[in-house]
Amino acid sequence: MIQKVAKVCMVPDILDQSDAQSFYLSGSDLAWQLCGSHNEGLLAASECARQLSYLRIKTNKLLFVDAQSGFGNPLNTYFTVKEFEHHGADVILINDQQFPSQTKHPQIASIYSFAGRVKAAIDAHNQQNSSIWVKLDGYSHYQLDGLQKRLIIAEKLGVTGALLNSVPAEEINKLKVNLKLGILNFETKNYPAQVKYFFE
């Protein structure tokens, strides 16, 4: 059965959606609250971590957190994951964009840069405290073949899940992957069988 993941930004969002099974702190939404812009690249990792700690106090449910493109190079990614774990993240999402991440006009990183940041995230995290997922924003850029390649790399590096952003259902059905899958900005209610999480 598919689980719905509710977007949250401030503590009242958690209180208003107390029936949700899990929550997602989106960089885009937090940037809107703090900066008046949906450009997630305006945020620092410390701002996201601070907000995460407030949310964690109010819920013990599964909490997904947008770590964007790791806030820099692999070393930045390593310490970002450590910081987010310390502040209560259950699932930390690393995207496939260049730094800084952009919500509306993403610039997709090379597959080598993406792999380097994912490896740093895996090395940093404690398996008892958190999981590392990838957030794939570049489907329109690299299409199905590139999507499959990134999922294979992520799985080999030790990632446990992937959030697919704006990927059509018919393409998801063609994927060959053993990762847990979530979907974001999905246009139909006919969810592919292998999808476990729907991010509202």
Q: What is the pLDDT of residue 40?
A: 85
| From 27-36, 77-86, 153-162, the region with the lowest mean pLDDT | 27-36
Q: Where in the chain are the domains?
A: 3-199
Q: What is the pLDDT of residue 103?
A: 78
Say if residue 100 is preceded by a cis peptide, omega within 30 of 0.
yes
Distance of CA 63 to the CA centre of its chain: 11
Report whether CATH 3.30.420.40 matches the domain 3-199.
no
Q: Give 19's pLDDT tier (boundaries 50, 70, 90).
A: confident
As given in the structure block, the two tokens for residue 189 are: 């209610």
Backbone angles phi, psi at 140, to 5 degrees: -65, -20
User: What is the C-alpha to C-alpha distance for residues 95 and 176, in angstroms, rounded to an integer?
Assistant: 20
Give the mean model confidence (pLDDT) for residues 119-133.
92
pTM of structure = 0.93
| DSSP designation for 108 | B
Q: What is the pLDDT of residue 74?
A: 96
Yes or no: say if 79 and 118 are a contact pair by the CB < 8 Å rule. Answer: no
Average pLDDT, the chain: 92
Q: Residue 33 pLDDT > 90, yes or no?
A: no
Q: Give 85's pLDDT tier (boundaries 50, 70, 90).
A: very high
Q: What is the pLDDT of residue 114?
A: 96
| DSSP designation for 38 | S
Q: What is the pLDDT of residue 111?
A: 94
User: Strand locations in the chain, DSSP E?
Assistant: 3-8, 22-25, 62-66, 91-95, 131-136, 161-165, 180-184, 195-199
Q: Give 106's pLDDT tier (boundaries 50, 70, 90).
A: confident
Yes or no: say if 154 and 179 are a contact pair by the CB < 8 Å rule. Answer: yes
Pairing state between β 22-25 and 131-136 = unpaired
